[in-house]
Amino acid sequence: MKVLVTGVAGFIGMHVALDLLRRGDSIVGVDNLNDYYDPQLKRDRLEQLRGYANFRFVQGNIENRELMAEIFQIEQFERVVHLAAQAGVRYSITNPHAYVESNLVGFMNVLEGCRHHQVQHLIYASSSSVYGSQPDVPFREDDNVAQPMSLYAATKKANELMAHSYSNLFGLPTTGLRFFTVYGPWGRPDMAYFLFTKAILEGGPIDVFNHGDMQRDLTYIGDIVESVVRVLDRPATPMPGSKVPYRIFNIGNHTPVQLLDFIMHLEDHLGVSAIKCFKPMQDGDVPITYADSTALAEWINFRPSTSFSDGSLQFVNWYKNYYLTHEQATLAKDGEKALRKGPDMPNFRAAAA
């Protein structure tokens, strides 16, 4: 099967592409390798994929209409996994245009490509952020999500509406996946678990927002990949009473973790106590995310279940190995430069003066 994976150098994109490559699918990955966070991490993720003969990478922006039209025309994909987006709640407050360009214009280009080239199934990343400050938990797919707390959340809800219109007008099967706080090896450096791990190891303070009174439904990357691939393999069909091939699913662990417990697990794995700086809630944030994953389990016969204790240990082990390897490589390069340069020679002219 030939599959387009957008955002292929991203955290989820790399893991999904790797799983599809290993089972024999032909993957074309698109990513712009932007500097929202360290591009070197993105390049290193790509290196995990480049060894596969059934992988091809295209660097570019999904908001480039001509580029995306050309890719769809040449490749004739059977299915599409659309994960490229401008992520982050707080970044959307200061850089709103990036979200309009990537999350709305870019998504439109993907929809148009699927429409004109008879793609069998489009699955795309939505977010638990669409639930906003919903008071009733756990969150269900049929909850009212008409009051987003951030522009990021608004663009993700807009994606769901755009997909529904294309499913309705053109019969395009689409499935939106509302991801709940994904974590694990090769994760995003802007996420709390990553920032906390870095700060704890470096002996710096960590910001604990809402004075620690927060909960997150933390979902391990391995469970995310298993869910995404199973959903990809089952194209959306109409809900009862509808004629539109359109579905929305939560992908969450159904087990919210208290923020202070979250920190405690990292401290245990790292063997270091965190220096906590308690602060009020940030703009655009919410006190709890909590997924009802019943619909997903019924659709694909799978439910995320990895505990944060187990998953965070996998992340910490990867983090130490990845950054230790980079530190050693940097030291080795510095050593090679010193050898080529030779020992420092005295400045004889300065001495003579």
DSSP 347: -
341 token code pair: 């340069």
Contact by Cβ (8 Å): 156, 288: no
pLDDT at 195: 95
Mean pLDDT of the chain: 91
131 is catalytic: no
pTM over cut 0.85: yes
Measuring CA to CA, which residue among 319, 307, 311 is closest to residue 196? 319
Amino acid letter for position 199:
A
pLDDT category of residue 348 using cuts at 50, 70 and 90: very low
Catalytic residue among 131, 152, 183, 290: 152
pLDDT category of residue 30 using cuts at 50, 70 and 90: very high
pLDDT at 282: 83
pLDDT at 344: 42
For 204, the 3-state DSSP assignment is coil
* Domain map (residue ranges) of the chain: 2-180+220-252+285-306
Inform me whether the pLDDT recorded for 210 exceeds 60: yes
Q: Are strands 26-31 and 121-127 parallel, antiparallel or unpaired?
A: unpaired
Measuring CA to CA, which residue among 315, 283, 49 is closest to residue 182? 315
Spatial separation of the C-alpha atoms in residues 342 and 224, rounded to whole Å: 51
Spatial separation of the C-alpha atoms in residues 1 and 36, rounded to whole Å: 32
CA distances from 263 to 73, 157, 259 (A): 48, 30, 6
Contact by Cβ (8 Å): 31, 10: yes
pLDDT category of residue 104 using cuts at 50, 70 and 90: very high
Across the range 139-168, mean pLDDT stands at: 95
Q: Which residue bears the tokens 């919903």?
A: 134
- CATH tag for 2-180+220-252+285-306 (out of 2.30.30.60, 3.40.50.720, 1.10.10.60, 1.10.540.10): 3.40.50.720
pLDDT at 332: 55
pLDDT at 347: 36
pLDDT category of residue 346 using cuts at 50, 70 and 90: very low
Strand partners, 175: 123, 247
16 token code pair: 């999904």
Question: Own/partner pairs for 17-20, CB < 8 Å, 24+ apart?
Answer: 17/49, 17/55, 18/48, 18/49, 19/225, 19/229, 20/229
| DSSP E strand stretches across 148-199 | 174-179, 182-183
31 token code pair: 């990513």
Query: pLDDT: is 87 or 10 the higher one?
Result: 10
340 token code pair: 């080529």
Q: Which helix (H) or strand (E) holds 274?
A: none
Spatial separation of the C-alpha atoms in residues 296 and 123, rounded to whole Å: 14
Contact by Cβ (8 Å): 25, 233: no
Phi, psi of 277 (to 5 degrees): -115, 105
Amino acid letter for position 251:
I
Please give the share of the chain, as a percent, with pLDDT higher than 70.
92
